[in-house]
Amino acid sequence: MRRAILTIATLLFIVICISLTIKLYQHQQNSKTLTLYGNVDVRQVDIGFRVAGQVTTLLYEEGDLVEPNALMAVLDRRPYLDQVRLAAATVVSTKVALANAEKLVQRRLELVSVGGVAKEDLDNATASRDELKAQLKENRASLRIALDNLKFTKAYAPTEGTILTRIREPGTVVNPADPVYTLSVTSPVWIRAYVSEPELGIVYPGMEADIYTDTRGGPVYKGHVGFISPVSEFTPKTVQTTDLRTDLVYRIRIYADNPDKGLRQGMPVTCKLAIR
């Protein structure tokens, strides 16, 4: 009986020692890690046109992945095609008039030398020619503007991303800069988190971080601190923190080095920064 009691006591002692060792190890590991809570932030781009017109084509739906420079939307091009044709015709007309004015000036020069016309006629012909030269430059500039406006009837994706919102539908008349899509940019992706003032001294740009989502068995994303706000602020109500909400905090950005579709706009995450 005594031997059994001694054996049980020994086993209990070993279990307690192991538990204390594990807790001590975890405490040491936690002391080398700063844990922050934040949300995923992704840049968004409003896609629109630089000219006004009626939307004829929208090529994507919400949730679609868009490649860089992909055509996204088209306006009715007919009014702008007519402007290009008009501007081109005006250039041709002015060229013809200028060629005739050059010939007239040449004739006046020949006649002035023999006294056939007055010097005033030559001056008037020269002035008309110079005026047509300036007009030709103006007409060519108008043609370039018309060609640009025609090109701006198509909207392209500036970068890879996901359609977050389809704002307009075909048939809608839009003004310049009116958004027709909101594009959620694929990269960069960062975590908006906050660090308290006592912990600010141990956080620095380039500091490595592990990013965890609430997805069970999800991947651990690698990241680094890319921005630390120089201005303090009161803790926002949406921030999850173990400190008092009245404490002053500093906003930081932790950029994800290997983002994928698992990191989505607004998703809450946990960041663990390795303290060295």
Mean pLDDT confidence for 184-204: 87
pLDDT above 70 covers a percentage of the chain that reads: 82
247 burial (CB, 10 Å; 0-12 / 13-18 / 19+) is: middle
CATH code 3.40.50.300 for 44-76+154-183: no
Does pTM top 0.85 for this prediction? no
Backbone angles phi, psi at 215, to 5 degrees: -70, 125
Q: At what angle do helices 119-151 and 78-113 cross, to 10 degrees?
A: 160
CATH topology agreement for domains 33-42+188-274 and 44-76+154-183: no
pLDDT digits (tens, 9 = 90+) for 127-170: 988 999 999 999 999 999 999 999 999 999 999 999 999 999 99
**pLDDT, tens only, 113-136:** 666 677 777 778 889 889 999 999
User: Cα–Cα distance between 18 and 5 in angstroms, integer?
Assistant: 20
pLDDT at 29: 47
Q: Is the peptide bond before 236 cis (omega within 30 degrees of 0)?
A: no
Report the chain's mean pLDDT, rounded to a whole number.
Answer: 85
* Strand ranges of the sheet holding 154-156, from the earlier edge strand across to the other edge: 154-156, 71-75, 53-58, 173-174
Q: Provide the residue ranges of all domains of the chain, joining segments of one domain with +.
A: 33-42+188-274, 44-76+154-183, 78-151
pLDDT for position 125: 83
Within 10 angstroms of residue 66's Cβ, the number of other Cβ atoms is 24
Residue 118: per-residue pLDDT: 74
Asked whether the beta carbons of 264 and 218 are under 8 A apart, the reply is no
Q: Which of 25-29, 202-206, 214-218, 250-254 has the lowest mean pLDDT?
A: 25-29
pLDDT in tens, 68-111: 999 999 999 999 999 999 999 999 999 999 999 888 888 777 77
The DSSP bridge partners found for residue 161 are: 66, 185
pLDDT at 32: 77
Percent of the chain with pLDDT over 90: 50
For range 244-262, the mean pLDDT: 80
Cα separation, 227 vs 205, whole angstroms: 6
Q: What is the pLDDT of residues 18-70, one digit of tens each?
A: 665 556 445 444 457 888 999 999 889 999 999 999 999 999 999 999 999 99
CA distance 42 to 28: 34
Helix (H) or strand (E) holding 21, with range, is: helix 2-31
Domain at 78-151, CATH homologous superfamily:
Helix hairpin bin (1.10.287.470)
The fold adopted by the segment(s) 33-42+188-274 is Elongation Factor Tu (Ef-tu); domain 3 (2.40.30)
